[in-house]
Amino acid sequence: MTDKRAVLYRMETPDHRCPWGLKTRHLLERKGYVVEDHKLASRAETEAFKAEHQVKTTPQTFIGGERIGGYEAVKAFFGEPVERPETSYTPVIALFAVAALMALAIAWITPGALIRIDTAEYFIATAMVLLGLQKLKDVEGFATMFLGYDLLARKYGRYGYVYPFVETGAGLLMLAGVAIWLAAPAALFIGTVGAVSVFTAVYVEKRALKCACMGGDSNVPLGFVSLTENLIMIAMAIWMPLRMWVL
């Protein structure tokens, strides 16, 4: 039997099950603690608990008779990071990884080898669609962040509102292999403007900004990844019309 024990008070009523309480319990169990789980089954019971212990929120965790606090306090107690990193490449890495897997899945169910030129095309087109989707979740937030560095958006504010639809639409057309006469120029235009804007902001003006590529709440740094994204879009826009003549 372990001597690692924790007492947890969390709210769980018929119409509300506190997710932070469950996260706290799971964290304690992962750390090898036996959890004495007290469920506060009503609003009145919860308010009475908070008044008794002079706390403003639940859940509350006690270890060794000492009050540790809520979920973030328990994380800090175990030495785990509490705050969200100011910047992170994790979202964009995850997106491109999923795009790559989707490209392989499409190539798997279509005739031919798994790794071929088409697979690279599927990857870029899928990535464009997924990136566009991130922006479409909050067009207003994206357009606001976009104004911070995009040269065309600074001059014509409505460009930031149109961009997500152009990127998504061009990606879908390229993925389907139709209307390349429309998709290629659109991708070439936004990719070129984007590449020049990123290069100017990061490498000429030396500004530390966050990239709007993942949407208005992005914490991805503006820099090499953003520039590469635009350069790949440009390459795709040039290649798609050429492949009609080459292949």
> What's the CATH code of the domain at 57?
3.40.30.10
Final residue before a domain boundary, out of 77, 107, 127: 77
Task: Say yes or no: 173 and 73 in one domain.
Answer: no
Task: Say yes or no: 25 and 142 in one domain.
Answer: no
The number of distinct structural domains making up the chain is 2
Task: Say yes or no: 37 and 104 in one domain.
Answer: no
pLDDT score at 244: 74
> Please, are residues 182 and 210 in contact by the beta-carbon 8 Å criterion?
no
pLDDT digits (tens, 9 = 90+) for 94-135: 999 999 999 999 999 988 778 888 899 999 999 999 999 999
Task: Say yes or no: 157 and 218 in one domain.
Answer: yes
Structural tokens at position 90:
């994790």
pTM of the model: 0.76
Task: Say yes or no: 144 and 73 in one domain.
Answer: no
CA separation for the pair 35, 196 (Å, rounded) = 56
Is 226's pLDDT higher than 60?
yes
Is 247's pLDDT higher than 70?
no
In this structure, is residue 82 part of a structural domain?
no
Task: Say yes or no: 180 and 239 in one domain.
Answer: yes
Task: Say yes or no: 55 and 103 in one domain.
Answer: no
pLDDT digits (tens, 9 = 90+) for 18-39: 999 999 999 999 999 999 999 9
In this structure, is residue 118 part of a structural domain?
yes
- What pairs with residue 41 in β-bridges? none
Structural tokens at position 207:
């500004």
The closest alpha carbon to 100, from 76, 67, 125, belongs to 125
Instruction: For the beta carbon of residue 156, count every other beta carbon within 10 angstroms.
Output: 10
Task: Say yes or no: 122 and 196 in one domain.
Answer: yes
In this structure, is residue 84 part of a structural domain?
no
The closest alpha carbon to 144, from 154, 130, 131, 134, belongs to 154
Structural tokens at position 226:
């953003």
Final residue before a domain boundary, out of 77, 100, 123: 77
pLDDT score at 166: 96
CB burial of 182-218 (b: ≥16 within 10 Å; e: otherwise) equals ebbebbbbbbebbbbbbeebbeeeeeebbbbbbbbeb
CA separation for the pair 201, 104 (Å, rounded) = 35
Task: Say yes or no: 138 and 225 in one domain.
Answer: yes
| Runs of H (alpha helix) within the chain | 19-30, 43-53, 71-77, 90-108, 117-136, 139-146, 151-155, 159-176, 180-199, 224-246
Is 246's pLDDT higher than 70?
no
Is 217's pLDDT higher than 80?
no
Task: Say yes or no: 32 and 144 in one domain.
Answer: no
In this structure, is residue 168 part of a structural domain?
yes
Task: Say yes or no: 208 and 124 in one domain.
Answer: yes
Final residue before a domain boundary, out of 77, 99, 122: 77
Structural tokens at position 139:
């067009």
In this structure, is residue 102 part of a structural domain?
yes
pLDDT digits (tens, 9 = 90+) for 59-98: 999 999 999 999 999 999 999 877 666 677 888 899 999 9
Task: Say yes or no: 151 and 241 in one domain.
Answer: yes
Is 1's pLDDT higher than 50?
no
Range of the domain at 165: 90-246
pLDDT score at 44: 93
